[in-house]
Amino acid sequence: MPADLHGLELTTDSDDAAAAYGDCVRAYLGFKLDTGEHLKRTFAADGEMPMALITRGYFFHLFCLPGLEAKAVQSREQAEAAIAQRGATKREKWHLAALAAWNRGDMAAATDQWERILLEYPRDVLALRLSHYSHFYLHGGAAMRQSVGRIMHAWDEGVPDYGYVLGVCAFANEEAGDYAAAEAAGRRAVEINPGDIWATHAVAHVLEMQGRQREGIDWLDGLCGEWGDINNFRFHTWWHKAMYHLELGQHDAVLALYDGEYRAEPTEDYLDVTNATAMLWRLEYLGVDIGERWRELADVAERHSQDAILAFADAHYMMALAKDGRDAAAAQMLAALEQASTGQGSQAKVLAEVGLPVCRATLALAKGDDGSAADLLLPLRDRIWRLGGSHAQRDVWAQMLCRSVMGAGRNQEARALLAQRTAEKPNSPISWRWYAEALAACGDGAAAAEARGRADQLLSG
Ligand SMILES: [Fe+2]
């Protein structure tokens, strides 16, 4: 029985299939455009290889598209049939159980399976990467870091793909708030492989969280030449560069990157849509004219308004519908999400607890009803992480909360929230500006002037 680069046995008689499958997993770790090509090569060598069929099912789920959910189920059924014929290792059967859980929308149970695999097979990079993904949307940074903490003992510089594992370690630590550990791991991974976009992105997050905008721009400028063979994830990394420019008040650069990079193509990929919608929302808070850009996003959002696969994506689709005044589509979407929130899957709970109130607040904001939005968002302020995504991505909802409270004239609450924000983001000029606004509204002119001074000082670099 062939084994992969990490010593894990694969149920196939074909060494070619095992080799192509290894290329596929490595390409997946690297967000490479040719990931699917390697999977096709695998099937050309062995059309019924269990791990290849299971992996295809995982990949279908990762797109978060309703049309591919049935194909993910089909892949699992084919894997079951193949395993009934030729058998499978214990590890492969656990992967099958993970896919079956995901098929029924139980991402938490799927994650439990991957974590079970990792206890015994800490070099199963596929289980590691999928668990990393699932924790990201379901359990938050602490779980991501705990997951990585259980496998690093099995990895060192001499093990193939160590760099990719360091990249996972870096992002997990960043989301858990250990920026020093995250930056060290991420920078080492990029030294090993400058094309490792996940590690590049992990360091970009550290620089975002610490308000090191100018360093962030230089970091990504120095590495973007490596992204020629990267899939849509490169758009998200360009979005990070735009986030630095946004904080520095360089709005033309944000829009140039919007049109030239992270929304240069009108794709349907949910992450691409979240990048664009959340950036337009932020730009409008800063009074930037974003032209007709909502319309194209609202078209995409309308097509996905009934998906209800990932609450994080749904919350962004709602932004586009609300801002483009698609009242009927927004109402239909809300009804679909209410229905979905009564389901049994992991995302149903996320929708019920956080997704729905966030969507309702989004609609209220677009109608100018700041008070209602504030009432909806205020109780969620410490639970918004349940919606999934990164700290940097979720900050759009922290901004919504601050601006809705300010818009409703609730000055004391605004001062408190912005005091918290500037304490957490002392290098954020936007936060100091808003804090100054809130302090002035509370009648504290001296403190407002000091806050404005902090913003000016940061912008003058
Ligand atoms: Fe990110």
| Residue 202 CA, ligand 1 centroid: distance in Å | 7
| Residue 91 CA, ligand 1 centroid: distance in Å | 31
| Residue 391 CA, ligand 1 centroid: distance in Å | 9
Query: Whole-prediction pTM value?
Result: 0.97
The token pair at 120 is 């015994």
The token pair at 84 is 């009934």
Read out DSSP for 319-371? Answer: HHHHHTT-HHHHHHHHHHHHHHTTSSSHHHHHIIIIIHHHHHHHHHHHTT-HH
Round to whole Å and give the CA distance between 224 and 219: 9
| Residue 134 CA, ligand 1 centroid: distance in Å | 15
| Residue 185 CA, ligand 1 centroid: distance in Å | 16
| Residue 328 CA, ligand 1 centroid: distance in Å | 32
3-class DSSP assignment, residue 224? helix
| Residue 77 CA, ligand 1 centroid: distance in Å | 34
| Residue 389 CA, ligand 1 centroid: distance in Å | 8
Q: Count CB-CB contacts under 10 A for residue 13.
A: 12
Q: How far from 62 is each of 217, 256, 272, 304, 391, CA to CA, in Å? A: 29, 29, 14, 15, 21
| Residue 238 CA, ligand 1 centroid: distance in Å | 10
- The tens-digit pLDDT sequence of the chain (461 residues) is 898 889 999 999 999 999 999 999 999 999 999 999 999 999 999 999 999 999 999 999 999 999 999 999 999 999 999 999 999 999 999 999 999 999 999 999 999 999 999 999 999 999 999 999 999 999 999 999 999 999 999 999 999 999 999 999 999 999 999 999 999 999 999 999 999 999 999 999 999 999 999 999 999 999 999 999 999 999 999 999 999 999 999 999 999 999 999 999 999 999 999 999 999 999 999 999 999 999 999 999 999 999 999 999 999 999 999 999 999 999 999 999 999 999 999 999 999 999 999 999 999 999 999 999 999 999 999 999 999 999 999 999 999 999 999 999 999 999 999 999 999 999 999 999 999 999 999 999 999 999 999 999 999 98
| Residue 235 CA, ligand 1 centroid: distance in Å | 10
Could you tell me the residue ranges of all domains in the chain? 266-408, 411-460
| Residue 204 CA, ligand 1 centroid: distance in Å | 8
| Residue 6 CA, ligand 1 centroid: distance in Å | 28
